[in-house]
Amino acid sequence: MNIYINVLGNVSPQVTTDNADFLTEPVNKQDTSFACIDPDYKSILQKANLRRMSRLIKFGMYSAQQCLIDSKVENLDAIITGTGLGCLKDTEKFLIDIYGNDEGVLSPTKFMQSTHNTLSGQIALMLNCEQYNFTYVHRGASFESALLDGIMLIEEEANNILVGGLDELTDTYLAVTKRMKMWRRDAISQLDLFSNKQSGSIAGEGASFFMLSKEQSSTSYAKIKGLKILFKPKSIETIYGEMQALIQDAGLEMGAIDVVVLGMNGDQEQDKLYDELIERYFQDKQLTAFKHLCGEYKTASAFGLWTAAQMLGKQNIPEVLKLNKSASPILKNVLVYNCYNNSNHSLLLLQDVNA
Amino acid sequence: MSQKIFISGCGMISSIGNNVAESLDALLKLEHGIRPVEILETKHKGKIPVGEVRSSNEALIEQLGLQWKAGHSRTTLLGTIAAREALQNSQVDLKDGLRTGLISATTVGGIDQSEDFYKEFLKDPTKGRLRHISKHDCGDSTENIAEDLGIYHFVSTISTACSSSANSIMMGARMIKHNLLDRVLVGGTDSLTRYTLNGFNALKILDSEHCKSFDQNRNGLNLGEGAAFILLESEKSIRQRKYKPICELTGYGNSNDAYHQTASSPEGKGALSAMKIALKKSQLNNNDIDYVNAHGTATFINDLSEGNALMTLFNDRIPEIGSTKAFTGHTLAAAGSIEAVLSILSLKHGFIPPNLNFSQVMEEVNILPVKKLLTNIKIKHILSNSFGFGGNCSSLIISKL
Amino acid sequence: MEEIIEKLKVQLIDQLNLEDFKPSDIDADEALFDSRLGLDSIDALEIIVLLEREYGIKVLNQEDGQKIFKSVRSIAEHISANKEV
């Protein structure tokens, strides 16, 4: 399998909209949640189209458009997105409208904008792209499902595919999930999330897009060598066994893996899984993490993939990502492992384009 | 990747029946399921006509033998009923070592539960039962169904508005072709909710009477609810368990209309493209299609758009065309898989259900849908269309073995 | 009439999210649809909601809507003619 990640687009709580830069100045906010830094939307999106867009659609469109502009791809073969909660803000607004007006005369725009496939549809509309168009909405496997579909399409006959993962934070979502004790009670500095493990993670959001291509280009960041999505695997041995199988299917061995990117989120219970994996299998590996930069959300793994692709493309691991200090000067093979809420697990193998 | 995709079992629940046998019976007796809202708690109760499954959540839970305290959304309950039936119908043994996946589709997910939560939460943010809101997302119903059936190899959910479950069928078929699964249960589930009822009402596309697909005087759609699943199987799986499947999925196509966020293009370019891709995939000619189970929602724009696309595609030899929406109502994410099951029944039993309530051909496009129940006819290939908001268009082709 | 027009401009900008326009940018007589304002069929539905919620006026069919929604002035005239006193 040779699928190239040729271009990236990323709007996140970090400075990530310039692909030349790779976390040289990490944002270290002290907060109870990490929201996206809003880019100048009007700089690359048409004004007229912005008026009905919620924040999610705006930063999703920006991220997708960034990918499209940089790739210069003219004939896109597919648009595939993954979103755990979809257009949450517009859903909430319409629900509030239903009760506020006792199911009376309601404004249709919010309803129309609240369907999960709004972003994929809007991108198609912007590009006048009549090709394959899909939206996956499966919790912590939403982005991975979209990625798997993209990989399959390229193996079929597609050349260039836009794949992205996105989710937004809303006040209501925060209020509700706080009651569910998903997050830390007090504000925390982003970069201290792992050094100070307690109950609860920190909520985040973002939109990360990738141009997947059959052919390598001058901007290629990495090759995808394998992807596996797991639902409630029985044990840690099962997970490790799947990792080994994925790596072997790519003709490699565990020893060839230079970096393991982990989706730990700072919650002491949920991170036990990662801690055990590290202790049993990855003691001698260079380990990195990413959720202290983007927060936890259902499609945060898309941000994780962005860090892995950047690492390989730039042959550099920013200090802010490192969990340990075993430096490997050459980066060839990177394994990304993410787990959402102890249910949705994903394994992704990336390789340097020149390997 | 040229291997065949077999359909070896199906299950469905909707306003025309709690299972496949009841649905078949209703179609043959021309008994539709459209009545004023009865079960859903809404201000529109007794007024807006819908295709409702006439069982309360409590009754559905009892039917499934579940514990009430599990607090499942109606979407989960309907989906579990149809998914269990499909597995049973295909007589498959999930413990035979082959890889089985589940790909479901939904647009509302557990929003019926969120509605209950919001009512309380809006008055006081410390109120509202958290169990209700935890069912909100679309993945919830799929994971509940997967765990109920014991399917773990691959589990995912698609949401592309009214084309959702046609797309889950398509994705499942492709995963078999890529040798990622040996068989996969695919389909979709959506319950009626205040959210969708008021949403479509706000868009002013609900008919206040029984809908009239492809009629000059059509006046909007009737919403419905339900779920349907089919089991897709690889040649390897069929051979290994020496099973005779019902029929074959020979084609599928997905395209985007890229015209407007909610409205279809008048000429139906996305619809046309999806149908063409499906035909190409199946290696069939236009002439091979015996019957089109149309999307035919009875909104002004869908039927015009789809009608034009059908005319362009079939030109001078138009196959039998009909929409079954007047039987079931528009079941949103479940529509694609419900209509796939109805198509399977048409193939198996050699009949085509009528497009109810049709009387006058549209001025703009000369589509004459099936007026009366056709029986004892030979059908080899059926094209089934599903189109949705966001320009999502999908077509499936189901064929006799 | 001028009072209704000015109030209506503010309400339209709000209801239709015309964030790049100020009330003074909109001419009371300019076309609302198929024009530089870029309104479409969904906006027509939003205007119906606005009239019903703010003025208690129901617009039942699309053909009436097309005539009434020609310009800010035509909507204002419809309001002043139909407003419950």
> What are the structural domains of chain C?
2-82 (1.10.1200.10)
* Half-sphere exposure (Cβ direction) of A183: Cα atoms closer than 13 Å: 24
Q: Do C19 and A112 touch (CB under 8 A)?
A: no
Q: Which pLDDT score, from 0 to 100, does residue A18 have?
A: 93
Q: Return d(Cα B179, Cα C26) in angstroms, integer.
A: 60
**SS3 of chain B: helix, strand, coil, percent, to 5:** 35, 20, 40
What's the rounded mean pLDDT across residues C19-34?
A: 91
Residue with tokens 């076309």: C31
Q: How confident is the model at residue A56 (pLDDT cuts 50, 70, 90)?
A: very high
Contact between B261 and C42 using a beta-carbon 8 Å cutoff: yes
Residues from chain B that touch A94, judged by Cβ atoms under 8 A, are: 195, 198-199
Given an 8 Å threshold on Cβ–Cβ distance, is A51 in contact with C52?
no
**Residues facing residue B189 across a β-bridge:** B227
Whether A107 and C46 lie within 8 Å, measured CB to CB: yes
Q: Which of residues 352-371 of B touch A (CB under 8 A)?
A: none
Tokens, residue B214: 């492809």
Rounded to a whole number of angstroms, the distance between the first and last alpha carbons of chain C is 15
Residue type, B344: I
d(CA C85, CA C80): 10
- Please say whether the beta carbons of A106 and C52 come within 8 A: no
Residue B295 designated active-site: yes
Among the options B32, B72, B132, B330, which is catalytic? B330
CA distance C27 to A180: 51
Nearest CA in chain A to B113: A95
DSSP string, B265-297: PTT-HHHHHHHHHHHHHHT--GGG--EEE----
pLDDT at B137: 93
Please count the other Cβ atoms lying within 10 Å of the Cβ belonging to residue A43: 9
Q: Which CATH class is domain B5-241?
A: alpha beta
Q: Phi first, then psi: what are they for A209, rounded to 5°?
A: -120, 155
Same fold, B5-241 and B249-399: yes
A107–C15 CB contact, under 8 Å: yes
Which residue among C17, C48, C52 sits closest to A52, beta carbon to beta carbon? C17
Whether A324 shows a pLDDT value over 80: the answer reads: yes
Chain A residues touching residue C19 (CB < 8 angstroms): 50-51
Which of chain C's residues have a Cβ under 8 Å away from the Cβ of B261?
42
CA A283 centroid distance within chain: 26
Measure the CA–CA gap between A344 and A12, rounded to whole angstroms. 22
Full pLDDT tens readout for chain B, 401 residues: 568 999 999 999 999 999 999 999 999 999 999 999 999 999 999 999 999 999 999 999 999 998 766 789 999 999 999 999 999 999 999 999 999 999 999 999 999 888 888 888 888 989 988 888 888 899 999 999 999 999 999 999 999 999 999 999 999 999 999 999 999 999 999 999 999 999 999 999 999 999 999 999 999 999 999 999 999 999 999 999 999 999 999 999 999 999 988 889 999 999 999 999 999 999 999 999 999 999 999 999 999 999 999 999 999 899 999 999 999 999 999 999 999 999 999 999 999 999 999 999 999 999 999 999 999 999 999 999 999 999 999 999 999 99
ipTM of the complex: 0.97
Question: Is B162 among the residues known to form the active site?
Answer: yes
Q: What is the pLDDT of residue A327?
A: 67
In the stretch 168-227 of chain A, residues with CB closer than 8 A to chain C read none
User: Is the pLDDT score of A290 beyond 90?
Assistant: yes
Residue pointed to by tokens 């836009």: A162
Active site residue B136: no
Q: What is the largest CA-CA distance in chain B?
A: 64
- Burial zone of C26 (CB within 10 Å; 0-12 exposed, 13-18 middle, 19+ buried): buried
Q: How far is A324 from chain B (nearest CA, A)?
A: 33
Contacting residues of A for B75, CB less than 8 Å apart: none
Residue B123 confidence (pLDDT): 87
Please compute Rg for chain C using Cα positions.
12
pLDDT tens per residue, range A237-281: 999 999 999 999 999 999 999 999 999 999 999 999 999 999 999
Closest CA to A12 of A295, A348, A317, A265: A295
The conformation of residue A255, written as its DSSP 8-state character, comes to: G
- Is C63 near chain B, with CB under 8 Å? no
Which is nearest to A156 in space by CA: A8, A1, A346, A348?
Answer: A1
> Cα–Cα distance between B309 and C42 in angstroms, integer?
24
Search chain A and give the residue with CA nearest C43.
Answer: A109
**In this predicted structure, what is the pLDDT of residue A313?**
97
Q: Average pLDDT of chain C? A: 89
* Residues B44 and B37 sit within 8 Å (Cβ to Cβ): yes
Give yes or no for residue A301 having a pLDDT over 80. Answer: yes
Extents of the domains making up chain A: 3-213, 222-351
Collect all residues from B whose CB is shorter than 8 A from any CB in C: 202-204, 260-263
Rg (CA), chain A: 19
Instruction: Give the CATH superfamily of B249-399.
Output: Thiolase/Chalcone synthase (3.40.47.10)
> Higher confidence at residue A208 or residue A99?
A208
Has residue A50 got a pLDDT over 90?
no
Work out the pLDDT band at A134, boundaries 50, 70, 90.
very high
**Gap between the terminal Cα atoms of chain B:** 19
What's the pLDDT at B135?
Answer: 86
Coil vs helix vs strand at A257: coil
Any chain C CB within 8 A of the CB of A48? Answer: yes
Domain A222-351 has CATH 3.40.47.10: yes
Chain A touched by B63 (CB under 8 Å): no
Count Cβ neighbours within 10 Å for each residue of B33-55 and write b for 16 or more, e otherwise. Answer: bbbebebbebebeeebbbbbbeb
Set B10, B138, B162, B393: catalytic member: B162
Rounded to a whole number of angstroms, the distance from the CA of B389 to the nearest CA of chain C is 13
Bridge partners of A180, per DSSP, are none
Distance between CA atoms of residues C11 and C18, nearest Å = 10
pTM of full prediction above 0.95: yes
* Catalytic residue selected from B32, B295, B381, B393: B295
> Span A340-349, mean pLDDT?
97
The set of chains that have 3 or more CB pairs under 8 A with B is A, C
Cα B8–chain centre separation: 18
> Given CB atoms, is A109 within the 8 Å cutoff of chain C?
yes
Structure tokens at B73: 């959304």
User: Which residues are bridge partners to A210 per DSSP?
Assistant: A8, A163
CA proximity to B96, closest of B153, B144, B143, B146? B153
Chain A touched by B44 (CB under 8 Å): yes
Q: Residue B95: CB partners within 8 Å, gap ≥ 6?
A: none
Contact A176 B119 (CB under 8 A): no
A82-96: pLDDT as tens digits: 999 999 999 999 999
pLDDT at C12 over 60: yes
Does domain A3-213 match CATH 3.40.47.10?
yes
B286 touches chain A (CB under 8 A): no
> If pLDDT is split at 50, 70 and 90, which confidence band does C31 have?
very high
The pair of three-digit structure tokens given for residue A17, joined into one six-digit string: 């909209």
Query: Percent of chain B scored above 70 by pLDDT?
Result: 99
pLDDT tens-place string over residues A167-201 = 999 999 999 999 999 999 999 999 999 998 899 99
Q: State the pLDDT at residue B256.
A: 96
Tally of CB atoms within 10 A around A327: 8
Contact A67, A211 (CB under 8 A): yes
- What is the Cα–Cα distance from C7 to B181, expressed in whole angstroms? 61
Distance, C-alpha A78 to centroid of its chain: 18
Q: For residue B378, what pLDDT is reported?
A: 95
Of all residues in chain A, the percent with pLDDT exceeding 90 is 92
Partners of residue B130 in chain A, C-beta under 8 Å: 176, 179-180
pLDDT at residue C84 in the model: 62
